[in-house]
Amino acid sequence: MTQQQQQPPNEAIPASEPVEDDVKEPFQLPVSASDTSDDVEAQQSDTPGTTTSGEKPGDNPTAGHTSEKSSVIVQDHQPASTPEGPPDGGLAAWMTVFGGFCSMFGPFIGILFDNYGPRYIILVGTILHVLGIMMTSISTEYYQILLAQGICSPIGNSALFHSGVNSISTWFGRRRALALGIATSGASLGGVILPIMLTRLFNLLSFGWAMRICGFLILFLLIITNLTTTSRLVHTRKQYHIRDFIRPLSELPFILTTAGTFCFFWGMFLPFSFIPSQAQRHGMSPTLASYLIPVLNAASFPGRIIPPYLADVFGRFNLMILMTLASGILVLALWLPSTGNAPAIVFSALYGFTSGTVVSLAPALVAQISEIREIGVRSGTYFCIVSFAALTGTPIAGALLPDPLGGKYLEQCLE
């Protein structure tokens, strides 16, 4: 006997019940995102005994792809409490994206997210990040700056980053890459505004007051993050062991994804650090050279939105491969031989676009090959490994090029 039920799209999922996203997605590079297992509608249309209202079983095997919204389900043998997958939209979902957007002005905490959700992690991250900025404003010794900007603020950033991207992953399935791209584009916008703002404030006021104004601006944005970011899951405390962090490294898709991202992040930040000095070496004025990083970050803004939108259609791994390849070609073919102002500006814009895509797609790739209830632990393992590449890449390049204004850039470009 059949019964008709309407499931609320944004209902929290009890931890004791299975969810659609707990099924790992197959690791297939050539397929589009709509063929992955986190496409909720496709899952519904393939479930025996489940059809959309008004259709008979077998009449339309692809009916689940016709709408992104929740539909009335006729279930013959499914339990009444079977939850739906990610709603891929709605006020709570997009407000979480907006909160992640604000938190990305500055950016790892996975196990705490799986246990407690994002609320308290974001609150602690806000306090630590803003405290680090404010303490920097009154620092007079090197060790004080190291404690504030090297320990306090980065720990807060880690909490904000992981809570933001993991919360978004619980709300979106088919449009996950786009949602994460919109959220991470906040980092691009911050990378345009903050360097210019601080440069002006240093001259008008002082270093201390410039940092305090920056801290108050970030505090305002993070208040929005605290008010809007939520998780779709109901988080309960679980016992974790160190092997929970190591287990993903036994899976070939996870290993290959992590290794590929590690290699790219090893050299990704070199242009951010050295393109102004290389441009000055070839005659660009220091004033114009100081705007190359804002140009790079400005181009990164559309790069974190447009390609992720296409990635949800043509495949996230496909777009990731394409953009990493394009970034490498730009470095070798445009940055390395450039000797004038125009090539440096063009490279900054193009590299910002391609590298921004890679940054925004990285969390989406982890979510695609992970069970949603383990997203915190697995993304923590992933970014912990990748962080060593980001940490060591620029110092290695600096050792290869001790004189930025007179050394050779070939060695670091081939790093």
Residue 153 and residue 273 in one domain = no
Note the pLDDT tens digit of each residue in 13-40.
Answer: 444 444 444 444 444 444 444 344 344 3
CA torsion sign, 309 to 312 to 313 to 318? Answer: positive
Are 407 and 322 found together in one domain? yes
Clarify whether residues 382 and 248 are in a common domain: yes
Give pLDDT, residue 331. 87
Nearest-CA neighbor of 292 among 279, 283, 302?
A: 279
Q: Is residue 307 part of a domain?
A: yes
274 shares a domain with 176: no
Domain of residue 147 covers 35-42+92-238
Q: How many domains does the chain have?
A: 2
| Residue ranges in 229-289 assigned as alpha helix (H) | 242-246, 252-268, 270-281, 286-289
Q: Please report which helix (H) or strand (E) contains residue 364, including its range.
A: helix 341-368
Selection from 377, 97, 124, 38 nearest residue 230 by Cα: 97
Residues 193 and 257 in one domain: no
53 found inside a domain: no
- One domain, residues 271 and 189: no
On whether residue 345 sits in a domain, the answer given is yes
Q: Among residues 183, 211, 238, which one ends one of the domains?
A: 238
46 pLDDT above the threshold of 70: no
> Is 357 within a domain?
yes
Say if residue 148 is in the same domain as residue 259.
no
**Residue 76 located in a structural domain:** no
Largest distance between two CA atoms of the chain:
81
Answer with the one of 184, 205, 238 that is the final residue of a domain. Answer: 238
Pair (267, 231) in one structural domain:
no
Residue-wise pLDDT for 145-169, tens only, equals 888 888 888 888 888 887 777 788 7
- Which helix (H) or strand (E) segment is 5 a member of? strand 3-5
Averaged confidence pLDDT in the chain:
72
> Has residue 29 been placed in a domain?
no
Say if CB 296 and CB 349 are below 8 A apart.
Answer: yes
Residues 245 and 383 both lie in one domain: yes
Same domain flag for 132 and 183: yes
> Residue 186: inside a domain, yes or no?
yes
Q: What secondary structure does DSSP assign to 57-121, as a single string? A: TTS-TTGGGS-SS---EEESS--TTPPP---S-SHHHHHHHHHHHHHTT----HHHHHHH-SHHH
Which amino acid, one-letter code, is at 310?
L
Amino acid 14: pLDDT: 46
Clarify whether residues 159 and 254 are in a common domain. no
CATH of the domain at 277: 1.20.1250.20
Q: Give per-residue pLDDT as tens, 121-151.
A: 889 888 988 998 899 888 888 888 888 888 8
Last residue within a domain, chosen from 189, 213, 238: 238
pLDDT for 287-339, tens place per residue? 888 888 888 888 888 888 888 888 888 888 999 999 999 998 998 888 888 78
- Phi and psi, residue 73, nearest 5°: -110, 135
Q: Is the dihedral of CA 162, 167, 170, 171 positive or negative?
A: negative
Can you give the pLDDT at residue 115? 67
> Same domain for 404 and 258?
yes
Structure tokens at 328: 């490498």
Residue 75: predicted pLDDT: 38
